[in-house]
Amino acid sequence: MELKTLRQKAREELKGFCRVCPVCDGRVCAGEAPGMGGMGTGASFSANLSALAAWRLNMRTLHAVKAADTAVTLFGRELAMPILAAPMTGVLYNMGGKLSEEDFIAMIIDGAAQAGTIGMCGDGADPAMYGSGLQAIEARGGCGIPIVKPRAQAVAKDMLARAAAAGVAAVGMDVDGAGLLVMALKGQPVSPKTAEELAELVGATGLPFLVKGIMTADEANIAFDAGAAGIVVSNHGGRVLDQAPGAAEVLPEIARAAKGRGVILADGGVRSGADVLKYLALGADAVLVGRPMVVGAFGGGAEGVAFLLNKLKAELTAAMLLTGTASVRAVSPRILRPAPGI
């Protein structure tokens, strides 16, 4: 498979919804939500990339690191890389509908499995979207993590129970989905959660629980106090609140406040293996990748998803060797330096 061919096909299949830009930074698609863009001015989308660009990697080649170990264990699953496919739904109104919801999520879950990692499935304005993800995960031996929107407690508990029945690796809730425009337009009530409500949901399942959409240190500790097994530092791809900071901007303070309390994942703006390594050096245990996986699925199906994940892994390996990093499980912040002017 060739990257150029994959991207060209994706551009054709996503016409009118995603331009498959040379640099996926949200400038061209600003305000296109629904669609693939960021909310409002698109500043929160672009902030994810600029926050990563604010850091450079210190190159070191006089060291004893001869091989880079990219393997991690998350929620009892051994993964070949600290890179997971992020939860995404809304193929019809966000991506043009050339693929069905069922086919799209199956490609994401299959492609991630082929690359030796796991994918997440999401919840959306059509409740059938969540069911499609559970089916795909169950068919592949539970190799996936479903993420539920912050719906009413009883509804969310039922969805968590369905996930457990499907044998998933973990479950989660993207609490920042409380502000999703599409959910409001489609009449699907969502709202913020109190600490007590979150603890009730964590206690309703025996599975590891992820809280996605954490952007402050105090909310990271609220999530862990509620019993969460992990958090995802994320501004929802810039799709819920205009003018929010980028994930890499807030990750260091969150890691300082909550490191060791559970898994810390980071989501937003990952476009290369170097970006992955930056997030790890800033305090994440692993990262999520979203929009590039859409290009992979539409451009090459499950194989396209696996191809792009393996490309990120290869770039990560090269960056590790050139910074003297032996393992993704122990990445020193010393490999980073602020970009000029930061």
What are the residue numbers of the active site?
236
What type of residue sits at position 11? R
Amino acid identity of residue 269, one-letter, is G
| Residue matched to tokens 């958090």 | 231
- Per the listing, tokens 């109104």 go with 93
Closest CA to 236 of 176, 324, 154: 176
Both structure tokens of 193: 């959660």
3-state SS, 253-268, equals HHHHHHCCCCEEEEEC
Alpha-carbon Rg for the chain, nearest whole angstrom, is 18
Q: Report the distance separating Cα 241 and Cα 237, nearest Å.
A: 10
| C-alpha span between 296 and 286 (Å, rounded) | 20
- How far is residue 218's CA from residue 208's CA, in Å, rounded to a whole number? 21
C-beta neighbour count of 192 within 10 angstroms = 11
Angle between helices 128-139 and 153-165 (to 10 degrees): 20
Q: What three-state secondary structure class fits 57?
A: strand
